[in-house]
């Protein structure tokens, strides 16, 4: 199995001249995708992360132009969430 990679998932308008990625997704397998995006309802340097399958969506602390830093923070947030859930399951 190959290592998953982040891919540009930006919805570009046909008329967009500058195609600057605003949304990135990574397919983790098992129908689980993690994404980071810049949303028009937030400041231009604000990143949000989402995982629709886990019903997670929230702003990231990182604000800046390096999507790799947003990717790392999003992965850490999902990892922490999964750890909390795993501990609850183990306590059953």
The DSSP call for residue 3 is P
CB contact at 8 A, 35 and 25: yes
2-55 per-position pLDDT tens digit: 899 999 999 998 887 888 899 999 999 989 999 999 988 889 899 999 999 999
Q: What's residue 83's pLDDT?
A: 97
Could you give the residue ranges of the DSSP H alpha helices within the chain?
A: 67-90
pLDDT digits (tens, 9 = 90+) for 60-86: 999 999 999 999 999 999 999 999 999
Check residue 1 and give its pLDDT.
67
How many Å apart are CA 79 and CA 31, to the nearest integer?
16
């Amino acid at each position: 199995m190959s290592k998953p990679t982040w891919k540009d998932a930006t919805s570009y308008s046909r008329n967009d001249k500058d195609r600057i990625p605003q949304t990135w997704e990574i397919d983790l397998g098992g129908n689980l995708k993690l994404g980071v995006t810049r949303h028009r309802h937030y400041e231009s340097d604000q990143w949000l992360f989402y995982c629709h399958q886990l019903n997670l969506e929230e702003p990231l602390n990182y604000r800046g132009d390096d999507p790799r830093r947003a990717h790392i923070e999003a992965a850490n947030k999902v990892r922490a969430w999964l750890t909390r859930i795993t501990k609850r399951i183990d306590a059953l």
